[in-house]
């Protein structure tokens, strides 16, 4: 559950802020974009808006390519297809995710939120760096990548990653059913991991090649919250439409050239959770990066992660 101050902040911007679509003068003619999680909800709306601004190719919305973020092989095959079949890649919106209130194990063996919201997103972000970089070098213009996080990251149970129990690493502890509470706290934590990962990867990228950021799309009406009765009820008077949520996604991945490594909310750069900037947060970010890279090398050697 959101802390009282986080909840009040969320209510305030939900009631006072009006999300804006991309202005008509923004043109994406000739560009190629990939949008994950584009079958429904915010991703679908963001894909439609990007297409309306002149994209030449839109993968997963107009062209449908198979991708399963619970399968290492599927993600590697998808990235290889990008490298071999696309002559350019300008925009990547990593928006796939899930929310559950009970412990569920992915086919990879990892807890479902950790697999899809963190590991799947992280692996794809790494696999798509090179095609984005090549396009940037050809066009002499930075390519763009955005990872969808959420303001619920501010309510994440940070003790689970600052001090994992039993002497375990961050990911092994979060894969343990004993670490799971039957509420939305694991979803909140997975969104905090998205913020950590974005900052860790951004620090390793040249912003003249790739501008990478993360964002809060706000509280929106969509099937995403159908597992959470309270969230579903609150959406009737607090939530934005899926289209308005999609505006945040397109805004983050097209505008804000100064947003490399940053977190956006209400369509502007905003502060990250305070834990992220602390000494403990910096140590946790490094540990998460090291664990994630080691896991990919062990479980998905075909990805050839350096």
Catalytic residue among 106, 150, 179, 185: 150
> Between the CA of residue 17 and those of 14, 217, 238, 244, 273, what are the distances in Å?
6, 12, 11, 11, 20
Active site residue 263: no
> Between the CA of residue 180 and those of 89, 91, 120, 157, 189, what are the distances in Å?
38, 35, 20, 11, 11
269 CB-near residues (< 8 Å, 6+ apart): 256, 258, 259, 262, 263
Catalytic residue among 71, 125, 179, 191: 191
Is there a contact between 37 and 98 (Cβ–Cβ < 8 Å)?
no
Active site residue 259: no
For residue 271, the Cα-to-chain-centroid distance in whole angstroms is 17
Active site residue 187: yes
Is there a contact between 212 and 122 (Cβ–Cβ < 8 Å)?
no
> Between the CA of residue 166 and those of 8, 160, 176, 178, what are the distances in Å?
35, 11, 10, 11
Catalytic residues: 150, 187, 191
């Amino acid at each position: 559950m959101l802390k009282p101050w986080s909840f009040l902040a969320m209510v305030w911007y939900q009631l006072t802020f009006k999300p804006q679509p991309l202005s008509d003068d923004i043109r994406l003619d000739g560009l190629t974009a990939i949008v994950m999680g584009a079958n429904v909800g915010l991703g679908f709306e963001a894909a439609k808006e990007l297409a309306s601004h002149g994209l030449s190719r839109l993968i997963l919305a107009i062209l449908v390519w198979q991708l399963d973020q619970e399968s290492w092989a599927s993600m590697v095959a998808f990235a290889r297809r990008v490298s071999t079949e696309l002559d350019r890649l300008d925009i990547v919106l990593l928006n796939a995710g899930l929310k559950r209130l009970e412990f569920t194990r992915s086919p990879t063996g990892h807890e479902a939120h950790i697999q899809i919201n963190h590991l799947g997103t992280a692996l794809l972000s790494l696999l798509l760096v090179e095609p984005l970089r090549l396009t940037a070098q050809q066009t002499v213009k930075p390519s763009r990548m955005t990872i969808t996080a959420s303001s619920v990251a501010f309510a994440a149970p940070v003790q689970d990653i600052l001090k994992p129990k039993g002497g375990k690493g961050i990911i092994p502890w979060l894969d343990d059913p004993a670490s799971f509470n039957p509420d939305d706290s694991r979803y909140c934590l997975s969104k905090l991991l998205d913020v950590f990962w974005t900052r860790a990867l951004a620090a390793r990228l040249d912003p003249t090649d790739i501008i990478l950021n993360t964002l809060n799309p706000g509280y929106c009406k969509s099937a995403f919250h159908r597992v959470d009765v309270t969230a579903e009820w609150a959406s009737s008077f607090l939530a934005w439409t899926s289209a308005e949520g999609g505006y945040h996604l397109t805004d983050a991945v097209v505008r804000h050239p100064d947003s490399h490594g940053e977190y956006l909310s209400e369509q502007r750069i905003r502060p990250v959770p305070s834990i992220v900037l602390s000494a403990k947060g910096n140590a946790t970010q490094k540990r998460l990066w090291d664990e994630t890279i080691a896991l990919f090398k062990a479980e998905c050697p075909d990805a050839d992660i350096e």
